[in-house]
């Protein structure tokens, strides 16, 4: 608190530094990702240089990437959305049901329906958090159970099988443009839009302002309720899109789609440099974090480590990432204090 009331003189130094360090932070994760890819490729060139390897490298992370981007926006506002896995499960099943119940339904309409449905589920979370002023962790923990329960109830004993789905839709999961899978292209477009919005627009900066200091944002006159609400809607809608992607990629839908993904999404965001206390990080970081998580998953067996150890490696990564963030933050604070004392 006291640092914000410091004299305004060293403002340029303060303004310049966080950007520099922020960029270094995402660069670190990117370097780790490249290291994993290179190591796996040296061991087995097919990891990168075969048609299947290249496709899987891009395709597998794209679903988690979408969820992690939504999660990142919510965490930046100093909230958390634990229901994303359940939202994904519900929208995935909705996607399957629509194709079965409405023969010949156009694919864009299904995608739209799933995204809107995800958005509505996010709206329920957001409304409870923003209007009832209840901690997001509690509300979304509740909807995690409730949405999953509804999903299991709705699915019953029938599952969606690839044979129920139109061939063009399943084709989306494997189709490539210039060797890049279509789903990855969509994910990257969504990511770029979100990144541009969060970095360059007034609305995007307001998310950061709210997360850095909710009380100050309120005093400043920001519409915090509406902003927090919109973050949850975005997170829900992106989880909805991820649900569609899941169906396109894997073809079959049980009632357990996306179960446990909430922790993967939070983990990806944290690895990517999003501070769990809000206001810090970029969606790029979260997306690279997601990519690193999923790539490690596939690289471990190639590197001769049984994939049973994958979760342990993920845990070490998450802890390493937050310790690194802490070290960087402490160093930055020291530099800022020095800069102030010098001036």
Partner 1 sequence: MTTTTSTTSTRVIRDYDRPLWRRVLLNREFAIIALLVLVVVVSAASIRGFAQPITVNYLLLDVAPILLIALPMTLVMITGEIDLSVGSMVGLASVVTGVLTESGAPFEVAALAALAVGVGGGAFNGFLVTVVGLPSLAVTIGTLALFRGLAVGLLGTTAVTDFPEMWTALAKAKIAGTTIPYIVIPFLVLLAIFVVVLHFTPFGRGIYAIGLSKDAARFSGVNVEQTKFILFILSGAVAAFAGIFYTLRFGSARGDNATGLELQVIAAVVLGGVSVFGGRGHLHGVVAAVLLIGVLGSGLRLAGVTSDVINIITGGLLIFSVVAASVLAWAQRVRAKAGPPLRVAASPAP
Distance CA 128, CA 243 (A): 23
Strand, helix or coil for residue 281: coil
Residue 89 φ/ψ, nearest 5 degrees: -60, -45
Q: How far is the CB of 153 from partner 1 (least distance, A)?
A: 5
Rounded to whole angstroms, the maximal C-alpha distance in the chain is 72
- Which of residues 103 and 308 has its CB atom nearest to partner 1 in the complex? 308
Q: Is 181 helix (H, G, I), strand (E, B) or coil?
A: strand
Please, what is the minimum distance in Å from the beta carbon of residue 227 to partner 1? 17
Shortest Å distance, C-beta 318 to partner 1: 4
- Between 184 and 255, name the residue whose CB sits nearer to partner 1: 255
DSSP 253: B
Tokens (6 digits) for 304: 């001769």
31 or 323: CB nearest partner 1: 323
Closer to partner 1 by Cβ: residue 11 or 138: 138
Q: Cα–Cα distance between 242 and 233 in angstroms, integer?
A: 14
How many Å apart are CA 53 and CA 46, to the nearest integer?
6
Contact between residue 90 and residue 150 where contact means Cβ atoms under 8 Å apart = yes
Residue ranges in contact with partner 1 by CB under 8 A: 80, 82, 128, 132-135, 137-139, 141-153, 214-215, 255, 260, 263, 266-267, 270, 276-277, 306, 308-319, 322-323, 326
Q: Answer for the pair 180, 58: CB distance below 8 angstroms, yes or no.
A: yes
Between 185 and 276, name the residue whose CB sits nearer to partner 1.
Answer: 276
From the CB of 323, what's the least distance to partner 1, in Å?
A: 6
Q: Please state the closest distance from residue 315 (CB atom) to partner 1, in A.
A: 3
């Amino acid at each position: 608190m006291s640092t914000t009331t410091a004299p305004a003189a060293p403002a340029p130094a303060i303004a310049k530094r966080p950007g520099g360090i922020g960029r270094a932070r995402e660069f670190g994760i990117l370097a780790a990702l490249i290291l994993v890819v290179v190591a796996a490729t040296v061991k087995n060139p097919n990891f990168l240089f075969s048609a299947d390897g290249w496709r899987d490298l891009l395709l597998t992370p794209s679903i988690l990437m979408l969820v992690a981007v939504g999660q990142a926006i919510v965490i930046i506002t100093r909230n958390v959305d634990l229901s994303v896995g359940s939202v994904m499960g519900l929208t995935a099943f909705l996607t399957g049901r629509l194709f079965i119940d409405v023969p010949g339904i156009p694919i864009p309409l299904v995608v739209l329906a799933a995204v809107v449905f995800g958005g509505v589920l996010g709206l329920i979370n957001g409304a409870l958090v923003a209007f009832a002023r209840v901690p997001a962790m509690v509300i979304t923990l509740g909807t995690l159970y409730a949405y999953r329960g509804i999903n299991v109830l709705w699915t019953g004993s029938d599952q969606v099988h690839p044979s129920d789905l139109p061939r063009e839709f399943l084709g989306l999961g494997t189709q490539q443009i210039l060797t890049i899978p279509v789903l990855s292209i969509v994910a990257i477009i969504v990511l770029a839009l979100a990144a541009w919005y969060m970095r360059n627009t007034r609305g995007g900066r307001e998310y950061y302002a709210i997360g850095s200091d909710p009380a100050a944002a309120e005093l400043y006159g920001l519409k915090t309720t509406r902003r927090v609400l919109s973050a949850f809607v975005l997170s829900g809608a992106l989880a909805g899109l991820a649900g569609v992607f899941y169906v396109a990629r894997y073809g079959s839908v049980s009632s357990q789609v996306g179960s446990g993904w909430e922790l993967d999404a939070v983990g990806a965001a944290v690895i990517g440099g999003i501070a769990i206390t809000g206001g810090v990080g970029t969606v790029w970081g979260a997306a690279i974090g997601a990519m690193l998580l999923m790539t490690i998953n596939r690289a471990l067996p190639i590197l001769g480590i049984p994939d049973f150890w994958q979760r342990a490696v993920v845990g070490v990564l998450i802890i390493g990432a937050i310790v690194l963030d802490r070290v960087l933050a402490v160093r930055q604070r020291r530099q800022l204090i020095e800069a102030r004392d010098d001036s």
